[in-house]
Amino acid sequence: MDKKNNFLIKLPIAHRGLFNNKDIYENTISAFKLAIENNYAIELDVHLTKDNKIIVIHDSNLKRLFNTNKIVRKLNYDDIKKLHFLNSKDKIPLLKDVLKLVDGKVPIIIEIKYDRLVGKLEKNLINILNDYQGEVAIKSFRARSINYFRKNCPDILRGQLLMYSKKIYLL
Domain locations along the chain: 3-154
Task: From the candidates 14, 15, 53, 145, give the one annotated as an active-site residue.
Answer: 15
Superfamily of domain 3-154: Phosphatidylinositol (PI) phosphodiesterase (3.20.20.190)
Determine which of 39-48, 60-69, 161-170 has the lowest per-residue pLDDT on average: 161-170
Task: From the candidates 8, 11, 33, 58, give the one annotated as an active-site residue.
Answer: 58
Can you tell me the distance from the alpha carbon of 34 to that of 88, in angstroms, rounded to the nearest whole number? 15
Query: What pLDDT is recorded for position 171?
Result: 40
Average pLDDT of span 124-146? 94
Sign of the alpha-carbon torsion through 55, 58, 59, 65: negative
Binned at pLDDT 50, 70 and 90, residue 162 comes out as confident
Binned at pLDDT 50, 70 and 90, residue 117 comes out as confident
Average pLDDT of span 153-169? 78
Query: What pLDDT is recorded for position 7?
Result: 77
What size, in residues, is the chain?
Answer: 171
Active site residue 58: yes
Query: What pLDDT is recorded for position 4?
Result: 57
